[in-house]
Structure 1
Amino acid sequence: MQLVVGRIGRAHGIKGEVTVEVRTDEPELRLGPGARLATDPASTGPLTIETGRVHSGRLMLRFEGVRDRTGAEALRNTLLIAEVDPEELPEEEDEFYDHQLMDLDVVMADGTEVGRITEISHLPSQDLFIVERPDGSEVMIPFVEEIVTEIDLEEQKAVIDPPPGLIDDRAEIASSRDEEEGEAREEGDGSA
């Protein structure tokens, strides 16, 4: 199974180093020196990682054969793709690989359908599920224990208990706000 594990960003310096937007929760495993990665577009790869380091919170990589800024800039926006055994599981019981979570149905504890996970965004503070709703809109759900209460891979679902306002439709929020404002105006008129 092939998984996108990163996207090459800007060149850094003049010796062929690039910034990388990490799209895996195991960069030390997938993006370590010696890793050979397929690319999209395929014409830029495969690429083998020569060195890697973290600088100001960003992952910096240098690939074999890329020795200058021009070569590094030519790789910008290239997706890095790793070959992963679909049976491979994380070491910790409560950890998951992105490919295990993709396309899971997202439901509330009472069974109400929320949507389907279409993307997982790895941010510095937390991971987010990007969930496509049945109407085609998207909602972002923080992948934290307080909100995502259960991941059931056998049933192919993620159960959530979101705080108020996280997944409420904007129209519902606006209409309830309008109702509250209307009630406040009516109360104000009565007390004058």
Structure 2
Amino acid sequence: MAGASQDRVALAAVAGAHGVKGELRLKLFAEGIDSLKKQKALFVGEDERRLLSVRANAKGAIAKLDGVNSREAAEALRGSLLEIARETLPELGEGEYYFSDLLSLLVIDDRGAEVGTIVAVENFGASDVIEIERPTGKRFMVPMTENAVPEWNKERLVINAAFAED
């Protein structure tokens, strides 16, 4: 799954089809379906599509987009990002970030050693967790807490060396 373009922010990814009428199962990147409900149109790849409906489910959300009318059409979008134009988003407060801004960031430890890049951001309930891929391909997870991640900016993220798995 490719990251969002610089002028767009991903709110969700298509996890697959739901039913036979073109509904999409979504993995949410935002803080719930409210951020999706506010959108009239979303970008799916280069196509702009109207959001017809969205509702929560146990694993994310179920959405219906204009022009996606069959299970096959929904399955064809599996892995696609649902994005919005960055300028439509509210300004971030101190210490806040959009998941898409963290994806592909260089990760170093607090001693200056390169660790890898961020390949995913998850939230399992307590706090956000970043998944880091080392150059070897091995992946590990680190919580986005002040103790584990003392600083980040748009070019890199610094983790406490104690959290860097070998």
CA contact (8 A) 1:34 1:50 kept: no
Tell me the distance in 1 between the aligned counterparts of 2:88 and 2:40: 18
Q: Deviations over 1:117-138 (max 9, x none)?
A: 3333223334332334455644
The amino acid across from 1:37 in the alignment is: L
Q: Which residue of the other structure, out of 49, 52, 68, is the alignment partner of 1:50?
A: 52
- 2:40 maps to which residue? 35
Counting strand residues as a fraction of each chain, which structure ranks higher?
A: 2
Counting helix residues as a fraction of each chain, which structure ranks higher?
A: 1
TM-score, L = length of structure 2:
0.71
Query: More deviation in 116-125 or 141-150?
Result: 116-125
State yes or no: 1:5 paired with 2:7: no
Which of structures 1 and 2 has the larger relative contact order (alpha carbons within 8 angstroms, sep 6+)? 2
- 2:147 maps to which residue? 146
Aligned residues: 159
Tell me the distance in 1 between the aligned counterparts of 2:44 and 2:144: 28
| Percent of residue pairs identical | 24
* Cα distance, 1:95 vs structure 2: 1.2
Q: Which residue of the other structure, out of 23, 27, 36, is the alignment partner of 2:29?
A: 23
CA contact (8 A) 1:33 1:50 kept: no
The amino acid across from 2:29 in the alignment is: R
- 1:106 maps to which residue? 107
Q: Deviations over 1:50-85 (max 9, x none)?
A: 111111242111112434444433433333232213
Q: Which residue of the other structure, out of 80, 83, 86, is the alignment partner of 2:82?
A: 80
* Cα distance, 1:23 vs structure 2: 3.2
Unaligned runs of 5+ in 2: 1-6
Tell me the distance in 2 between the aligned counterparts of 1:50 and 1:87: 20
CA contact (8 A) 2:10 2:100 kept: no
CA contact (8 A) 1:120 1:127 kept: no
Tell me the distance in 2 between the aligned counterparts of 1:35 and 1:58: 19
TM-score, L = length of structure 1:
0.63
Larger radius of gyration: 1
CA contact (8 A) 2:21 2:71 kept: yes
Tell me the distance in 2 between the aligned counterparts of 1:84 and 1:128: 23
* Cα distance, 1:86 vs structure 2: 10
The amino acid across from 2:26 in the alignment is: V
